[in-house]
Structure 1
Amino acid sequence: MSYSVGQVAGFTGVTVRTLHYYDRTGLLSPSERSAAGYRLYNDADLARLQQILFYRELGFPIEEIRSILADPRASALDHLRGRHAQLNEQITKLQKLVEVAEQAIEVERTGVRLTPGERFDIFGEVDWDLSYATDARLKWGGSAMQWESMARAARHTKEDWRQLMAESAAWRRELIAAFEDGQTADGERAMDLAEQHRAHVERWFTPCPPDAHRRIADDYLTDPRAFAMLVPPSEQLPGLTQFLHGAIHANADRTVEG
């Protein structure tokens, strides 16, 4: 059975222009002609086209395909082995690029320039929630405070993060102890802890005036993801978020009044 150029293009998905190019270069020339002189492809031609498409899908250049088809028994296996090795090299390179891209995305979202393993080692139970970090960037992305925080976080070394998290853990223990001791949110001890938190933010991330600190406290109260980045769920106690929120606001009032 024979097929016209248009028919072959229709059921193979190869454009008429490409078929004409294959014919012109001698890669695939139709073996038959119609009574009117039109080129027709027979079953052998279609089998050759299938081979061409197979090698093209693997990324072989036209000239190499021509060489393979000229003597397939002698060269096809060697060419395929070579292409297999090249594809594996490309996969390895692409995987590395994927890892680099994923780390770049996380740096852009969170400002934390650490591998997932390093992040787990340093942060432990404290969950650096990507969804919250993304929302926070959208919410505060236009502010100088957010940009400064992201930029400084991105410059932190692994040891910086270790020190930062150690300070945070020590402060967290003091916060929980004050709460369990029944201290009031507007008492000296609670406000001093709030001031330590504000100083921590300034030391490691961005200037944090009282109004900015209030906004951070409001996020702790309204978004559990924000508070979980400060106090992991296993350490949270009923009312602790409200206690810290009240202490930060009381300290902000004290700072402004002072």
Structure 2
Amino acid sequence: MIQVNELSKKYKGAEAYSVYKLDLTIKAGAIFGLLGPNGAGKTTLISMLSSLLRPTSGSFSIDDLNYREHKNRLKQLIGIVPQEYALYPSLTAYENLWYFGSMYGLKGDRLKKKILEHIEILGLSSFADKKIVNFSGGMKRRINLIASIMHRPKVLFLDEPTVGVDVQSKNVIMDYLAQLNAAGTTILYTSHHLNEAEAFCTRVAIIDLGTIVCKGTPKALITQHQDAKNLEDVFLARTGKALRDHA
């Protein structure tokens, strides 16, 4: 579903590449975890794959569509849940979802039905007419997710989808993502919650300094690393224990 070939990104004025000659293959139907320290290149990679950021070099394709030749068609295939909330705080939940659904070409009764259906599934029906500014972090995360999937994307990019949420919201979000995947959506997901990634992902890659240092199923990676009891042990073994403060 996703094929990445020697993809690189160097920001203007930067001394080093944020992503450097990265190769990656993600099969259709996978839940693929992209894990790494702060500043490792995770968000930069997702931004390139979602056509928000132009690569410095290299190429990628999604569903056999090359980004250089089919940029607009690629955008129709994907949904993206960014790390920061992408919502209008002065609008209600319903108004936000109507706006984003309209951008995907949905309209009328079909759009209304999808909005009501999704806010019910994610436990937000009684808050549909409340302004986003009054929502908790977990509620905003759930609305952010709905805004990205109403058009049934083939590929869903998730950049830290459960950061800063309560346990109940996290469980609702992860259960719903599993349902989307079971219905055919391929997921590329970044997180610092390694226990969550270990349980959720079918495959993972650990990225550091813009390159992939290891990849495989969580179970295989744990087995391959001596003394590793979980994915966090593998992560620390491959990226070290030094602080990665990043601005």
Give your verdict on TM over 0.5: no
Larger fraction in helix: 1
From the CA coordinates, give the structure whose radius of gyration is larger: 1
User: Structure 2-normalised TM-score?
Assistant: 0.22
Larger fraction in strand: 2
